[in-house]
Chains A and B, each alone.
Chain A
Amino acid sequence: MADTSPQPSRSRDLDKLLLRPGNLVGPRFEPGPETRDDLQAYARVLVVGAGGLGCELLKDLALTGFRNLDVIDMDRIEVTNLNRQFLFRLEDVGKPKAEVAAKRVMERISGVNIVPHFCRIEDKDISFYNDFNIIALGLDSIEARSYINGVACSFLEYDSYNNPREETIKPMVDGGTEGFKGHARVILPGITPCFECTIWLFPPQVKFPLCTLAETPRTAAHCIEYAHLIKWNEVHGGTAFDPDDPEHMKWVYNEALKRAELFGIPGVTYSLTQGVVKNIIPAIASTNAIISAACALETLKIATECSKTLSNYLSYNGTQGVHTKVTEFERDKDCLVCGPGVLIEVEPSVTLQKFIYLLEEHPKLWLSRASVSHQGKNLYLQAPTVLEEMTRSNLSQTLFNLMGKVTRDIVHVNGTATKNDQKISCMRKLLVVFKGTDGVADMDTAGGA
């Protein structure tokens, strides 16, 4: 079919998308070789998690024009990973996932640089995360998603019109799977809902009543949870249960089995015991591939605007036929994590006491009896007494000093607001700017690069 064969290029297929103009693209798409070259040279993506999704993401991103990747994961490779985490082999069991994954992808794709981080996500300074242009999440826990989301949103700043300042937006793509089902989403903090805005999308884990476990067990899972949550402590007092210790797991299994026999309950197996105790979510290669690929594609679009984007949540369900659905979720206007916060300008000489008083008078707040916290430090708490006493001495100090003499920063307050003659308790995010310091001037240079 070929008549005029083009220059052999590794970017043969991707070039069609990046070099050619199109009509269904983002407003700032600039087709041309420079876009491709800049993508390779400047775009830095962090992949969080080197498991089922993370392995796929690294491969997909590396074959989608990204050359500067980092990957962070605290786990070591286990045998049960091998049915889907295709960068790992049996002889890798016990090695750090991040390191092996990075090495394998670099071995196969020349020119790609992947820096592994074998540690917990909390171990890194927040500034570490600010070095990346986009964060891709391949995680299986709500806690970790919530943490990264909080970090990414902490970089977000708004201008004086409450519009997010573009250079402070840290885009995230997030994937998740369970069996034949999964989701992929794009989070542009300040523009699309953040993880916390829609945390209700994750149903809370089912927990059995303890008295059912103790008195009226009916199912195999009840017997297992009895052995795990009640019997273990009764017998082992001091030793904490370790789900990764096979001896511990076997003990729970045997106890569960005994209890099931006692009550005539069928169905306790070793596999079910592990499933219940570790809350194992079934996972297969195909679903991880689908969801990661969708995330990688969106990462490319965020970076280059070479196509319209997913707005903003894709769900996939392959159990009964194939169902895909795109939902445009909305932001929570009052979200404490990604919201703009109310701007408050104060003199550096203002004491905390005076600041609390100012909140009562502030026309956007009318907040009385405020408690104040700053970056995890509790500056003042109205209750309970023990904490009030511990924080009372701060009242006479200046807020400027208490906040470590920064020119501007976020503080969180909660107290009682009056709305339509009704008193309601509320929690607010404030952006405190100290007058006469350079924090004010900074505010007015909106837009930026």
Chain B
Amino acid sequence: MIKLFKVKEKQRELAENASGGAPIKKQTAGELRLHKDISELNLPKSCAMHFPNGKDDLMNFEVSIRPDEGYYMGGTFLFSFQVSPIYPHEAPKVKCKTKVYHPNIDLEGNVCLNILREDWKPVLNINTVIYGLYHLFTEPNYEDPLNHDAAAVLRENPKLFESNVRRAMAGGYVGQIFFPRCM
């Protein structure tokens, strides 16, 4: 090996006398895998994606979901995705940017979805996550609450829950809390 080092040292000296090459951006293993996930996406019509930083930054994107059935029909909900360079070793970080009255999403936008935390596995992909999010709107559940009040209402009084959801989506107060319009 040392002989090789000697040769390389000479090459280096030569190169230093010439000029430094243009810096090349390194593509991480996470980006490569995400590229695959994204190009294979098969989304329902009700979901759309946005890439605020353009086509060459896939690691930060947004997904908007417009449920076409259930309590949340007609609303539009925006989620931000942040993907790590070691994806899929680590789950993407997902936040709900739309303030929503929902048992499994709190007012800060934290989302209680098992595959985003305790049940994430590298075989899962962005498609599964988006479907999981979509599912939260068609079937909100009061068994894993993050918004305690909303969960209690869904459980005790589904009719009231429904009207609360409508009121929030139309832009209005539920109890003391104001929800901007998202329809």
Whether B35 and A371, one on each chain, are in contact in the complex, defined by CB atoms closer than 8 angstroms, is yes
Instruction: Compute how far the CA of A8 lies from the CA of B69 in the bound complex, rounded to whole angstroms.
Output: 86
B residues near A122, Cβ cutoff 8 Å: 26
Whether A202 and B89, one on each chain, are in contact in the complex, defined by CB atoms closer than 8 angstroms, is yes
- Give the size range of B's interface with the partner: 35 or more
Whether B38 and A126, one on each chain, are in contact in the complex, defined by CB atoms closer than 8 angstroms, is no
User: Residue A240 at the B interface, CB < 8 A?
Assistant: no
Q: Chain A: how many interface residues by the 8 Å CB criterion?
A: 67
Q: Which of A43, A142, A414 contacts B5 (CB 8 A)?
A: A43
Whether B8 and A167, one on each chain, are in contact in the complex, defined by CB atoms closer than 8 angstroms, is yes
How far, in Å, is A15 (CB) from chain B's closest CB?
16
B12, B91, B110: residue with the most chain A Cβ atoms closer than 10 Å = B110
In the complex, which residues 359-400 of chain A have their Cβ closer than 8 Å to any Cβ of chain B?
371, 373, 375-378, 381-384, 386-387, 390-391
Whether B23 and A125, one on each chain, are in contact in the complex, defined by CB atoms closer than 8 angstroms, is yes
Instruction: Compute how far the CA of A200 lies from the CA of B122 in the bound complex, rounded to whole angstroms.
Output: 9
**Given A43-B2, A146-B86, A414–B144 Cβ distance below 8 Å?**
no
Residue of A nearest to B25 (CB): A376
**Given A210-B146, A234-B108, A387-B38, A375–B24 Cβ distance below 8 Å?**
yes
Whether B85 and A143, one on each chain, are in contact in the complex, defined by CB atoms closer than 8 angstroms, is yes
Instruction: Compute how far the CA of A384 lies from the CA of B117 in the bound complex, rounded to whole angstroms.
Output: 25
**Given A204-B120, A377-B56, A427-B36, A412–B27 Cβ distance below 8 Å?**
yes
Instruction: Compute how far the CA of A205 lies from the CA of B85 in the bound complex, rounded to whole angstroms.
Output: 15
Of the listed stretches A241-249, A267-275, A297-305, name the one at the interface; the rest are far from the partner chain.
Answer: A297-305
Whether B118 and A207, one on each chain, are in contact in the complex, defined by CB atoms closer than 8 angstroms, is yes
Residue of B nearest to A35 (CB): B2
Q: Which of A211, A234, A383, A390 contacts B54 (CB 8 A)?
A: A390
User: Residue A90 at the B interface, CB < 8 A?
Assistant: no
Whether B1 and A42, one on each chain, are in contact in the complex, defined by CB atoms closer than 8 angstroms, is no
B residues near A233, Cβ cutoff 8 Å: 108, 110
In the complex, which residues 134-173 of chain B have their Cβ closer than 8 Å to any Cβ of chain A?
144-146, 148
How far, in Å, is A193 (CB) from chain B's closest CB?
14
B-binding residues in A (CB < 8 A): 28, 35, 38-39, 42-44, 122, 125-127, 131, 133, 142-143, 146-147, 150-151, 154, 166-167, 196, 199-200, 202, 204-211, 214-215, 229-230, 233-234, 237, 302-305, 336-337, 371, 373, 375-378, 381-384, 386-387, 390-391, 412, 414-415, 425, 427, 449
